[in-house]
Structure 1
Amino acid sequence: MIYPIVVYGDPVLKKKASDIEKGEIDVKVLSEDMFATMEAASGIGLAAPQIGKSIRMFVVDGRPLEEEGMEDFRKVFINPQILEETGEEWAFEEGCLSIPNIREEVFRNEKLRIRYFDENWVEHEDEYNGMKARIIQHEYDHIEGVLFTDHLSPLKKRMLKGKLQNITKGKMKVDYRVVIPVKR
């Protein structure tokens, strides 16, 4: 099943997500649905809050980047916990399916160590660096209620205010289904 993507302005994107209890949901089915949703929107990562589910789960697939080392980087992260972020901070222009048509330079540490469960409830503790670490950090932020725009300077945020307000109103062009925040 392909879900619509929740866009900027929806409260679920700013809420810290809850842990998943083993057996609570079928994480294998949900992960396959999340991969299908991400691929349909030409993404490389998708967190559960982006499909309206406030749970600690995300999927990544770096293969579309066609970079060395990414050919097998397709993973499911359930109840992840970043244990350590190290190395130099480096800048890269990030985008987000929930914040369409906006890309900005974000600084992140080059390495991380993370503990998580996969879709078979096998626990892992792995280290990642470079682009793999960045993709994980971006998706991990989502389950913490943080968006890449939260990492921007106050000046950049002010410059983007109009574009972000347009997204909340549905004034954007995307080639995937989205959920527009409900007016309160």
Structure 2
Amino acid sequence: MAEPLQIAQLGNPVLRQQAQIVDNIRDNRLQQLIDQLIASVLAANGVGIAAPQVSESYRLFIVASRPNPRYPHAPLMEPTAMINPRIIAHSPKVTQGWEGCLSIPGIRGLVPRYQAIEVEYTSRGGQLHRQELTDFVARIFQHEHDHLDGIVFLDRVESMQDLMTEQEYQHRIVK
């Protein structure tokens, strides 16, 4: 198993940069980075992580939804590397949901996101995938996709009243 990497924290300039397109998917260094991202998201009890969050400015992220202490009601799925991901289409319906971020520890925010999205990405094996994602997994994809464009969830919160500490979130929302 690969070693987890240090997660960049809010204020680190890499989190505000436009990430670069991945050209060589079969590159050993990129494949190693994917393994390190998976190790990092699992170690941190996250449900997703983008390459810029470990100071690697590539259009790559992992979606790894599973129940854990931070997200006890998350659906279970295998960690999936999504390279050069794109949102092709989205539902008109937008839903509010509580989000946290490994790069912004201790804070949760109520964030509007599309309920359903159609996405396209390349897998670590080089295959092009196109699929529809809904609800929580669609939220993870949109959150991680934002990281590739230098956007953090705080930028999407509509009101400062829609923020709370992780401790309050666990006490009031998760129960």
TM-score normalised by L of structure 2: 0.83
Contact in 1 for aligned 2:38/2:79 (Cα 8 Å): no
Match of 1:146 in 2: 151
Q: Cα offset for 1:24?
A: 4.5
Contact in 2 for aligned 1:91/1:106 (Cα 8 Å): yes
> Residue 26 of structure 1: CA displacement?
3.5
Partner of 2:107: 102
In structure 2, what residue type is equivalent to 1:7?
Answer: Q
Instruction: Note if contact 1:77-1:116 (Cα within 8 Å) is conserved in structure 2.
Output: yes
Per the alignment, do residues 61 and 134 of structure 1 end up closer, same or farther by CA in structure 2, a change over 3 Å counting? same
Aligned-CA RMSD value: 2.1
For normalisation by structure 1, the TM-score amounts to 0.79
Residue matched to 1:55:
58
Aligned residue for 1:28, secondary structure, equals: helix
The one of 128, 153, 156 aligned to 2:160: 156
Q: Unpaired runs of 5+ in structure 1?
A: 164-184
Alignment of 1:8-157 (within 5 A): 8-22=10-24, 23-64=26-67, 65=71, 67=73, 70-153=75-158, 155-156=159-160
**Residues 30-81 of structure 1: CA deviation (Å, up to 9, x unaligned):** 111101011111111000000001100000111225658x333421100011
Asked if the contact 2:87–2:120 (Cα under 8 Å) also holds between the matched residues in 1, the reply is yes
Shift of 1:87: 3.4
Higher relative contact order (CA 8 A, sep 6+): 1
In structure 1, distance between residues paired with 2:47 and 2:57 = 20
Instruction: Give the distance between the partners of 2:27 and 2:90, measured in 1 at CA.
Output: 30
How many corresponding residue pairs? 158
Q: Distance in 1 between matches of 2:15 and 2:91?
A: 26
Contact 1:114–1:127 (CA<8 Å) still a contact in 2?
A: yes
Answer yes or no: is the 8 Å Cα contact 1:28–1:120 preserved in 2.
no
